[in-house]
Chain A
Amino acid sequence: MRSIRTAVALAAVALLAVLLSACGSSSSSSSGGSSGSEVVGTEGFASPATQSLEGKKGGTLEVLQEGDFEHLDPGIAYYSVDYVVIFATQRPLYSNKPNTASSASPDMASGPPEISSDNKQITVHLREGVKFSPPVNREVTAEDVAYAFQRATNPNVANPYVGAYFKSIEGEPQAEKEGGAKPIKGITTPNKHTIVFKLTEPKAQFVAAALVMPISAAVPKEYAEKYDKNKPSNYASYEVATGPYMIKNNSAGKVLGVGYFPGKSLTLVRNPNWNASTDIRPAYLNETRVKIGGDNAVIGRQVLEGENLVQSEPPTQANIKLAAEKYKSQLMISPGAGSHYIGVNNKSGPFKNENLRKALWAALDRTAMDKARGGQLVTNVMTHWLYPSNDPVWNEVIGFNAAGGIKGPKFDFNEHPEGDMTVATEYMKKAGFPSGKYTGSETVTIVGAKGPPAEQDAEIVNSTLKSLGFNTKFTLVETSTMYAKYCNVPKEEIDVCPSVGWIADFADPQTVLNITFNGKLIVPTGNVNWSQANDPELNKAMTEAESVNGKGARAKAWGEIDTKLVEKAIAVPFDWDKQGNIQGKNVHGVGQLWNVGSWDYSWTSLK
């Protein structure tokens, strides 16, 4: 549920990451149709889906990244840049192995979640013998997981997704109102190693899938509570680990100024209390040192020509090209890295008219949009919203195949990725403009993001609109400004947000479609329904689909909604992302397929 902020050259902008899981509660769906790699076209390049997970123990990895971390507290972390540290140091109840996007493994849990027949209760048993890192040093219990959820409802912690994914836990809304002062009523711990989630609605499958989010990583109440009383909580400055690594700390547990220097560096060292027999992670590296700062383009070249190095952030387009041409073995391409599309205002302005939206869709050269983003190596022409991965199970469970696969739903305006002015002209006529050109009085306000490739995409959208006869008011602002001040604020009435992005949080289609297109979820600020779509038929379908259980049934229900979104041209899609990541010559980087291919420091090793 995170919008993609293309941060290629901009330090302040974080990429939004992915978590996904099926939590093993039911059997995986079979893959159908073509294999993932055929679908998304990464032949000839390493991919997280096909990478070897074997490695050699020892060594120190150096990570270069331009921007700083956003939040290192597992109760707050929500961006991929933070996830790489969180998932090396924390153990949520379930997590994905790096080479799968669709099925989660029990992590802190000892087995799959037990779901009641009425889909209103989830029981999870915890592993025994997992300990917190120093200075806490004691065994993790179910109470620690319950506290992790409780503190997430504390405004001092300000978890960004607890309300969206866990509101059906009994007492969660009340806990939020009370500011996390009391435990959540629906979360109980019948014994030291069992936690039970009682729901008010039959949404157990969806909630269980969401247990891969870092919110479920245990937090010791007696240690963290004093930090959580601060506004904002400064637990991150003293946080303890349950994973194979911990942020280097002192005897009091302080990491700020010891292992983490904001804007400068972060050091991961081995957690002395970690027991390999309780974990799926091999933890090959002895230490990981993250150096923060520098220029993304320079970092990329350093990494390609250096040793023991990886680049944490997405490389520049030029460095992807350089890597593909000269350092092919050091480049990994990760499909399933989300999507980019054009938000067109369904509520006000000319694009209230569905036919005008279809005309824009038909006229837009999506291949040009994708080429501006780096071409076929890092993009696929987007034909609907549920996006593909080269994990074939993902393509089933997410509803990608159900919505028409790579070609998408068959509508004339969706047929020609390179744009078709004839079809566009027809829709302009249907919209009430007999000349085929817009002759209305409204000027289309376009707010795009500065910097490549979003800037180029915005310019293509602007020229496409002009080719349809629209007068435009075209402005480029910083990416963060585009989202926070304009595109995320409905009252600004921006007509076109030319390059907004989205990534699923976990392997469920609801995380892709609901908050982004359900009119009931439009909020005054921080709104991510960028088209301000509020179609009663779609809203109803989405509300009903929320309660559908069973992976196949959910994929079908949401796949049909995806098709409806295309039919009504709620927005205009153009890019299914594939993320490139680069590594040094002697690094065996393991990318997280579920997290836009980000390097996994618990699996990466040195050759």
Chain B
Amino acid sequence: MSFTTGEARPAAETLEFLDAGGEDVAARSPLQLFWRRFRRDRVAVIAGGVVIVLIVIAILAPLVVSILGLPGPNVENLNATDAFGSPLGPSSAHPFGVDQLGEDVASRVIYGTRVSLQVGIIGTAISTLIGVTVGLIAGFYRGWVDTLLSRTVDIVLSIPILLLGIGIGAACSVKGCLGGTIEPGISVIIFLIAFATWPYMARIVRGLVLSLREREFVEASRGLGASNWRIMLREILPNLTAPIIVYATLQIPTNILIEAALSFLGVGIRPPTASWGQMIASATPIFNTAWWYMVFPGIALLITVLAFNLLGDGLRDALNPREAR
């Protein structure tokens, strides 16, 4: 959090300043204050640790699979199924069992982390960029600009993302659309998620900007002759950092779930690329006899979504302690 002209110090910092007992102390930076508050939240710290582990797994998936002695995610081995072609359960060779093609479920879960985090993080980053830009402009300029952008937000919010995904999946699945520009796959999923979720960020940012633009430090800056863009980027945007980080963190698990849902419906990631949603979909008809095929990707999805949600909550508490949960 940045403290600019005329902005009040947070109460917690004031208390720490008073607690110093007259000794010479250096004021803590906002980052130090954030960290001090964040680390007290053990749940959030653990969630953050899990997120870091997931990111490491995603980046180093081939190495992790190799270290664990697992086959690659797309290595088919029908010998790992029984005489009826049914997948065999967890064993020392395949700790999470195998799927109908004898592919190692553990290996596919590990590689599935890549897809989920890619979609979650990149999709959120793009939607955040768009949402912040639109919200900032709408809130700052108000008037017809605000009306135009806000109505655009309303229109986009009225588009059901799952139906849109299914539609694109159905229409563009084989030959692609727009001369092959749009083809189902990870890039389209990311686009869809960014397209469908930026309005939420835009609304939040717009509301905050409407409030911030009336504050004294903005007036002061304007009085000193700062341009609109400078005010927006140098005065207002830094004060939006905390809510943006919090909201974006909470948006990541939502986006991961959207990807899983689209893949579950068969319009997301194309096989043989491993995706948790797709694995769960494939496991559905055989859940009765191959529980492991649904349970392990399901657990991975649950842990990932939970970790990001708890991390987001922790960040919100640490960045804005005055806001009640």
List the 6 closest pairs (A to B, CB-CB), nearest first: A321-B84, A368-B78, A371-B85, A318-B289, A371-B78, A375-B85
* Contact with A462, one of B174, B272, B282, B286 (Cβ below 8 angstroms): B272
A455 to B283, CA, bound (A): 12
**Which B residues lie at the A interface, using CB under 8 A?**
74, 76, 78, 81-86, 100-101, 170, 173-175, 184, 266, 270-272, 282, 285-286, 288-289
A476 to B265, CA, bound (A): 11
Complex contact A445–B100 (CB within 8 A): no
A475 to B266, CA, bound (A): 10
What's the least CB distance linking A416 to chain B, in Å? 15
Q: Across the two chains, which residue of chain B brings its CB closest to A474? A: B270
* Contact with A450, one of B100, B266, B272 (Cβ below 8 angstroms): B266
- Interface set, chain A 373-388, CB cutoff 8 A to B: 373-377
* Contact with A371, one of B81, B170, B286 (Cβ below 8 angstroms): B81
- Interface set, chain A 311-331, CB cutoff 8 A to B: 316-318, 320-322, 324
* Contact with A374, one of B85, B101, B271, B288 (Cβ below 8 angstroms): B85
A455 to B100, CA, bound (A): 10
Complex contact B85–A316 (CB within 8 A): no
* Contact with B288, one of A297, A451, A492 (Cβ below 8 angstroms): A297
Interface residues on A, range: 35 or more
What's the least CB distance linking B65 to chain A, in Å? 17
A456 to B76, CA, bound (A): 10
Q: Across the two chains, which residue of chain A brings its CB closest to B103? A: A459
A266 to B315, CA, bound (A): 60
* Contact with B86, one of A318, A451, A473, A486 (Cβ below 8 angstroms): A318
With A317-B85, A320-B84 already in contact, the answer to whether A463 and B285 are too (CB < 8 A) is no
Complex contact B174–A475 (CB within 8 A): yes
**What total count of A-B pairs have CB within 8 Å?**
88
23 contacts between A and B (CB under 8 A): A8-B285, A9-B285, A297-B288, A318-B288, A320-B84, A321-B84, A321-B289, A365-B78, A367-B78, A368-B78, A372-B100, A373-B85, A374-B85, A375-B82, A375-B83, A377-B83, A452-B100, A460-B76, A460-B101, A463-B74, A474-B272, A492-B175, A494-B174
With A371-B85, A459-B101, A476-B266 already in contact, the answer to whether A486 and B174 are too (CB < 8 A) is yes
What's the least CB distance linking A593 to chain B, in Å? 23
A447 part of interface (Cβ distance < 8 Å): yes
Complex contact A463–B173 (CB within 8 A): no
Cβ proximity bits A255-293 to B, threshold 8 Å, 1 near / 0 not: 000000000000000000000000000000000000000
A150 to B288, CA, bound (A): 50
- Interface set, chain A 455-507, CB cutoff 8 A to B: 455-456, 459-460, 462-463, 473-477, 481, 486, 492, 494
* Contact with A297, one of B81, B101, B270, B285 (Cβ below 8 angstroms): B285
The residues of A that contact B100 with a CB separation of less than 8 Å are 372, 452-453, 456
With A456-B101, A462-B272, A475-B270 already in contact, the answer to whether A376 and B285 are too (CB < 8 A) is no
Complex contact A475–B101 (CB within 8 A): no
What's the least CB distance linking B268 to chain A, in Å? 11
Complex contact A372–B86 (CB within 8 A): no
What's the least CB distance linking A302 to chain B, in Å? 13
A375 to B83, CA, bound (A): 6
Complex contact B286–A318 (CB within 8 A): yes
The residues of A that contact B271 with a CB separation of less than 8 Å are 455, 459, 462, 474, 476
Complex contact B286–A452 (CB within 8 A): yes
A474 to B272, CA, bound (A): 9
With A452-B285, A476-B266 already in contact, the answer to whether A375 and B84 are too (CB < 8 A) is yes
A321 to B84, CA, bound (A): 6
A301 to B289, CA, bound (A): 12
The residues of B that contact A322 with a CB separation of less than 8 Å are 289
What's the least CB distance linking B277 to chain A, in Å? 14
Q: Across the two chains, which residue of chain A brings its CB closest to B284? A: A9
A473 to B172, CA, bound (A): 13
A542 to B40, CA, bound (A): 82
A225 to B285, CA, bound (A): 45
The residues of B that contact A447 with a CB separation of less than 8 Å are 174
Kindly name the residue among A301, A371, A375, A463 whose own CB sees the greatest number of chain B CB atoms within 10 A.
A371
What's the least CB distance linking A512 to chain B, in Å? 26
What's the least CB distance linking A40 to chain B, in Å? 17
* Contact with A477, one of B74, B173, B285, B286 (Cβ below 8 angstroms): B173
The residues of B that contact A372 with a CB separation of less than 8 Å are 78, 85, 100-101
A459 to B270, CA, bound (A): 11
Q: Across the two chains, which residue of chain B brings its CB closest to A478? A: B266
The residues of B that contact A475 with a CB separation of less than 8 Å are 173-174, 184, 270
Cβ proximity bits A348-371 to B, threshold 8 Å, 1 near / 0 not: 000000000000000001011001
With A459-B76, A460-B101, A486-B174 already in contact, the answer to whether A453 and B288 are too (CB < 8 A) is no
A265 to B272, CA, bound (A): 40
With A445-B174, A452-B100 already in contact, the answer to whether A377 and B272 are too (CB < 8 A) is no
The residues of B that contact A459 with a CB separation of less than 8 Å are 76, 101, 271-272
The residues of A that contact B74 with a CB separation of less than 8 Å are 463
The residues of A that contact B285 with a CB separation of less than 8 Å are 8-9, 297, 316, 318, 451-452
Q: Across the two chains, which residue of chain A brings its CB closest to B266? A: A450
The residues of B that contact A373 with a CB separation of less than 8 Å are 85
New contact pairs (11) apart from A317-B286, A477-B173, CB-CB < 8 Å: A8-B285, A318-B86, A318-B288, A372-B100, A373-B85, A375-B82, A452-B282, A455-B271, A459-B272, A463-B272, A476-B270
A456 to B271, CA, bound (A): 10
A486 to B173, CA, bound (A): 11
Cβ proximity bits A209-252 to B, threshold 8 Å, 1 near / 0 not: 00000000000000000000000000000000000000000000
Q: Across the two chains, which residue of chain B brings its CB closest to A451? A: B285
What's the least CB distance linking B129 to chain A, in Å? 31
A377 to B270, CA, bound (A): 31
A450 to B83, CA, bound (A): 23
A475 to B175, CA, bound (A): 10
A453 to B285, CA, bound (A): 11
The residues of A that contact B286 with a CB separation of less than 8 Å are 316-318, 452
A365 to B77, CA, bound (A): 11
What's the least CB distance linking A369 to chain B, in Å? 9
What's the least CB distance linking A191 to chain B, in Å? 56
The residues of B that contact A365 with a CB separation of less than 8 Å are 78
What's the least CB distance linking B100 to chain A, in Å? 5
Complex contact B84–A377 (CB within 8 A): yes
A462 to B270, CA, bound (A): 12
The residues of A that contact B81 with a CB separation of less than 8 Å are 371
- Interface set, chain A 424-458, CB cutoff 8 A to B: 445, 447, 450-453, 455-456
The residues of A that contact B288 with a CB separation of less than 8 Å are 297, 301, 318
A476 to B174, CA, bound (A): 9
A365 to B74, CA, bound (A): 16
The residues of A that contact B84 with a CB separation of less than 8 Å are 317, 320-321, 324, 374-375, 377
A197 to B149, CA, bound (A): 75
Cβ proximity bits A21-45 to B, threshold 8 Å, 1 near / 0 not: 0000000000000000000000000
